[in-house]
């Protein structure tokens, strides 16, 4: 360490050298290029520009309770809270990695008492000396990113942070879809319970009529047993639907972060109205879905880490320096003649590591290939989900209309069967068959209505739900 007055210390040559090395540097490893589209050619044909999707698309169902449940879910869902925490951690890691571009500046100080050796290098006795030592200095440490290790690492952690952000957004979209679908299922069950309750009441009334006819000698014990069995069957069906509703209600409570929540039952007329989702595939599906953007950012990170691994093949260049004062007496520590400085350029060159670096490069390359496959699968899955939702929406719409007509026809048949039975023109089995047909048609109508609504939810979700990267 050299000692000289502080005013004589020159740092410009070191800074100039650092700048020259940094400018001369290049980043090893492959630069990221977005993979070519893996969508089938037909996808390009149906991709059309369309009106942007309402980011609050669930409000299009016109159900205030559904709106409240979604908002509660986005506020209190624990999986979403965990995703937010992961995002915070990833962004902090990105800030930490970004700090590697800048030198580390510190301050060190110390005081001590020392005793020198009593012998020279040739063993001659000269007598030892005891003295105090005090110093204070500002220190600088800087790694010259000549091969782009720091640059590639920053690419990776920034991509990780973006992947976490898009993962949070993807989870939000998934949760909204789950709440909406579960709510639709709950309302469908309410309708089925209402229908089954009416059927049960109708069969109880029919059972009373059969009993009266048996007592009057105009009906057989067989008809009575059949009527009783029909009542028991409707009762079992009603109990099973109530169980399913309780499970659906419990699932909504879990999703919305409201354990023990109860949702008031409503009738068939309260089933939400279906909105009109956009038709066709979006013209920029790859940019419209957060899960695809998340998969791509993971691919970018994996690609950059190949460069981080390859950088280990090259030497590490570092600059260190210190500027301060040193004195045997504290009173002289900041005197004019106590100034010290040091500057050093260090190089660490790998020679032999038994193949460790090569193995790490191979690991990073394999991880990149795995991430690439996952990205392509995510894109293909997105196309499938959009396509399936469009097909389902059209099919369930036709199915709902057909079942609606069947309900009307079955109701007319039941009215006629009821009159014929009361008039004695037909047996109880004819009446029971008419009741069963109407009950089945009503339940199938409700199921198709729910499926149509769920297909609308799935299409909104598959198209990205109006998501825009923020």
Total length of the chain: 470
List CB contacts of 315: < 8 A, sequence separation 6 or more: 347, 348, 349, 350
Q: Exposed, middle or buried, 70 (CB in 10 Å: 0-12/13-18/19+)?
A: buried
Q: 64 with 404: CB under 8 angstroms? A: no
Q: Within 10 Å of residue 275's Cβ, how many Cβ atoms?
A: 17
CB-based contact 308:148 (threshold 8 Å): no
pLDDT tens string 94-106: 999 999 888 899 9
CA-to-CA distance for 186 and 176, rounded, in angstroms?
15
pLDDT recorded at residue 51: 64
What is the predicted pLDDT for the residue at 49?
Answer: 45
Distance between CA 74 and CA 102 in Å, rounded? 39
**Residue 270 · residue 61 · CB < 8 Å:** no
- Angle, CA of 78, 79 and 82, to the nearest 5°: 85
List pLDDT tens digits, range 363-407: 999 999 999 999 999 999 998 898 898 888 889 989 989 999 999
> In angstroms, rounded to a whole number, what is the distance separating the alpha carbons of residues 470 and 460?
19
Tokens linked to 412: 């007319």
User: What are the distances in angstroms from CA 130 to CA 115, 326, 448?
Assistant: 4, 17, 96
Looking at residue 50, its pLDDT comes to: 58
What is the 3 state secondary structure string of the chain?
A: CEECCHHHCCCHHHHHHHHHHHHHCCCCCCCCCCCCCCCCHHHHHHEECCCCCCCCHHHHHCCHHHHHHHHHHHHHCHHHHHHHHHHHHHHHHHHHHHHHHCCEEEEEEEEEEEECCCECCCCCECCCCEEEEEEEEEEEEEEECCCCHHHHHHHHHHHHHHHHHHHHHHHHHHHHHHHHHHHHHHHHHHHHHHHHHHHHHHHHHHHHHHHHHHHCCCCCHHHHHHHHHHHHHHHHHHHHHHHHHHHHHHHHHHHCCCCCCCCCCCCHHHCCCCCCCCCCEECCHHHHCHHHHHHHHHHHHHHHHHHHHHHHHCCEEEEEEEEEEEECCHHHCCCHHHEEEEEEEEEECCCCCCCHHHHHHHHHHHHHHHHHHHHHHHHHHHHHHHHHHHHHHHHHHHHHHHHHHHHHHHHHHHHHHHHHHHCCCCCHHHHHHHHHHHHHHHHHHHHHHHHHHHHHHHHHHHCCCCCCCC
Tokens of residue 326, six digits:
């040193």
R_g of the chain computed on alpha carbons: 38
Q: Which residues are 119's β-sheet partners?
A: 125
pLDDT of residue 280: 59
Give me the domains of the chain, ranges plus CATH numbers. 36-105+148-317+363-462 (1.20.1600.10)
What pLDDT, on the 0 to 100 scale, is given for residue 138?
87
Nearest to 210 by CA among 434, 427, 437, 425: 427
Rounded mean pLDDT for each run of 10 residues along the chain, 470 residues in total: 42 47 64 80 50 85 92 94 94 91 88 72 60 83 88 94 95 96 94 92 88 85 90 95 96 93 78 70 75 95 95 90 82 72 86 91 96 94 88 90 93 91 83 89 91 91 85
pLDDT for the residue numbered 274? 72
The rounded distance, in Å, linking the Cα atoms of 328 and 325 is 11
- Nearest by Cα to 190 from 263, 275, 274, 259: 263
Mind listing the pLDDT tens digit for each residue in 298-309?
999 999 999 999
């Amino acid at each position: 360490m050299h000692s000289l007055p502080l005013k004589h210390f020159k740092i410009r040559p070191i800074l100039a050298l650092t700048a020259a090395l940094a400018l001369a540097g290049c980043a090893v490893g492959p630069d990221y290029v977005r993979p070519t589209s893996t969508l089938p050619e037909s996808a390009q044909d149906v991709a059309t520009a369309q009106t942007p999707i309402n980011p609050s698309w669930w409000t299009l169902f016109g159900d205030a309770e559904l709106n409240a449940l979604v908002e509660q879910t986005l506020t209190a869902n624990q999986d979403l809270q965990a995703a937010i925490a992961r995002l915070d951690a990833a962004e902090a890691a990105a800030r930490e990695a970004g700090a590697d571009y800048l030198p580390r500046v510190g301050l060190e100080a110390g005081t001590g008492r020392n005793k020198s050796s009593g012998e020279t290098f040739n063993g001659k006795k000269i007598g030892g000396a005891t003295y105090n030592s005090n110093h204070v200095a500002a220190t600088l440490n800087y790694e010259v990113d000549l091969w782009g290790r720091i640059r590639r690492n920053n690419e990776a952690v920034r991509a990780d942070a973006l992947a976490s952000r898009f993962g949070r957004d993807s989870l939000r979209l998934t949760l909204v879809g789950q709440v909406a679908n579960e709510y639709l299922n709950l309302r469908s069950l309410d309708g089925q319970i209402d229908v089954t309750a009416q059927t049960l009441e109708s069969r109880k009334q029919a059972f009373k009529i059969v009993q009266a006819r048996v007592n009057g000698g105009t009906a057989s014990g067989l008809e009575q047993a059949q009527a009783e069995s029909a009542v028991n069957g409707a009762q079992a069906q009603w109990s099973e639907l109530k169980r399913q509703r309780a499970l659906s209600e419990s699932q909504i409570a879990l999703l919305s972060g409201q354990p023990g929540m109860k949702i008031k039952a409503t009738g068939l007329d309260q089933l939400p109205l279906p909105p009109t989702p956009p038709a066709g595939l979006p013209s920029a599906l790859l940019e419209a879905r957060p899960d695809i953007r998340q998969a791509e950012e993971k691919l970018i990170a994996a690609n950059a880490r190949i460069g981080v691994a390859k950088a280990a093949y090259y030497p590490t260049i570092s600059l260190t320096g210190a500027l301060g004062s040193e004195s045997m007496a504290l009173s002289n520590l900041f005197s004019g003649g106590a100034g010290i400085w040091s500057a050093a350029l260090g190089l660490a060159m790998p020679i032999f590591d038994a193949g460790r670096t090569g193995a790490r490069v191979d690991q990073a390359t394999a991880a990149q290939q795995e991430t690439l496959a996952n990205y392509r699968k995510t894109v293909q899955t997105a196309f499938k989900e959009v396509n399936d939702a469009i097909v389902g929406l059209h099919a369930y719409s036709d199915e709902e209309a057909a079942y609606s007509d069947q309900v009307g026809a079955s109701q007319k048949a039941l009215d006629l069967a009821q009159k014929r039975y009361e008039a004695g023109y037909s047996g109880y089995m004819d009446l029971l068959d008419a009741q069963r047909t109407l009950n089945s048609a009503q339940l199938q109508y409700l199921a198709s209505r729910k499926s149509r609504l769920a297909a609308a939810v799935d299409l909104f979700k598959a198209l990205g739900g109006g998501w825009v990267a923020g």
